[in-house]
A = this chain, B = another copy of it.
Amino acid sequence: MRYELYYWTGIQGRGEFVRLALEDAGAAYTDVAREKGDPVIMPFLRGMHPGALPFAPPILRAGRQVIAQTANILAFLAPRHGLVPASATSQIYAAQLQQTVTDIVAEAHDTHHPISVEQYYEEQRAEARKRAAAFCTQRIPKYLGYFEQVLTRGDGRHAIGRRNSYVDLSLFQLMAGLTYAFPHTMKGLRRRTTRLRTLCDRVSDRPNIAAYLASPRRIPFNEDGIFRHYAELDET
């Protein structure tokens, strides 16, 4: 079966977590909006397609099934492609970790939009500086400290069990995004993120991921996405 992914063009965004899983698995998929344009997403949001009603992209179509919410899409895909162990306990733990990635991704977004998603960054710069300071000094260390502990608790190299899983791919993406947006902060956390950084090296060396990252399918990070680099937000 060929999957259809629907996500806003021009940014990695939340869709990137799904892309990394599909790419690592070597799954056949079409990144529909990138071929046909963002308007193809609207009928889903307007309820014109049967099946689940999405609040927002990413949206995955798998045959007749429509699935939204990043962590939910990944929990659906992973067991079909060997990206999570078969045991229910492992899959529940993986979902828990992925939902925690969802949380920090939302917080990363809010560093540049602390007041309203309907306003430009430039309209909320003062508040963004304050929120980003709290994010960089408190939240990033707390979340990454947690994920380091998760790795330590496992075999030291993988989030779940002793094999690569979709959670590892998402941790790679989280680290890549944070490092792009907050290089100064992340540099200061190097010694406290050794396991995460080793994981990132391993993930980026996986053949399908390496090929993907080198391809035009990998959209560069930019200041329209979730992880944005504004130097003034990375000063603390």
Instruction: Report yes or no: B100 in contact with A103, Cβ–Cβ below 8 A.
Output: no
Choose among B99, B127, B131, B143 the residue that contacts A71 (Cβ–Cβ < 8 A): B99
Chain B contacts of A103 at CB under 8 A?
A: 55, 106
Q: Assembly of this chain: how many copies?
A: 2
- Beta-carbon contact of A115 and B130 below 8 Å: yes
Complex alpha-carbon distance, A55 and B103, angstroms: 11
Q: Is A25 an interface residue (CB 8 A)?
A: no
User: Given A55-B143, A103-B106, A146-B55: A118 and B92 within 8 A (CB)?
Assistant: no
**SS of A interface (majority):** helix
Complex: how many Å from CA A18 to CA B154? 27
Those of A34-92 within 8 Å (CB) of chain B: 47, 52-55, 65, 67-69, 71-72, 75-76, 89, 92
Give residues 112-132 of A contacting B (CB, 8 Å).
Answer: 114-119, 124, 127, 130-131
Q: Which of A146-179 contact B (CB under 8 A)?
A: 146, 149-150, 153
* A99–B146 CB distance below 8 A: no
Residues of B within 8 A of A76 (CB): 92
Contact B149 A47 (CB under 8 A): yes
In whole Å, how far is A67's beta carbon from the nearest beta carbon of chain B? 6
The residue that A65 contacts in the complex, of B89, B100, B143, with Cβ under 8 A, is: B89
Contact B69 A95 (CB under 8 A): yes
Complex Cα distance, B100 from A153, in Å, reads: 30
Query: In the complex, A196 Cα to B210 Cα: how many Å?
Result: 47
Give the residue of B54, B99, B149, B150 whose beta carbon is less than 8 angstroms from that of A96. B54
CB distance from A205 to the nearest CB of B (A): 26
Can you name the residue of chain B whose Cβ is closest to the Cβ of A95? B72
| Interface, chain A (partner B; CB < 8 A) | 47, 52-55, 65, 67-69, 71-72, 75-76, 89, 92-93, 95-96, 99-100, 102-103, 106, 110, 114-119, 124, 127, 130-131, 134, 138, 143, 146, 149-150, 153
Given contacts A53-B146, A118-B134, A119-B134, 7 further A-B contacts (CB under 8 A): A47-B149, A53-B149, A75-B95, A106-B106, A115-B130, A117-B138, A124-B130
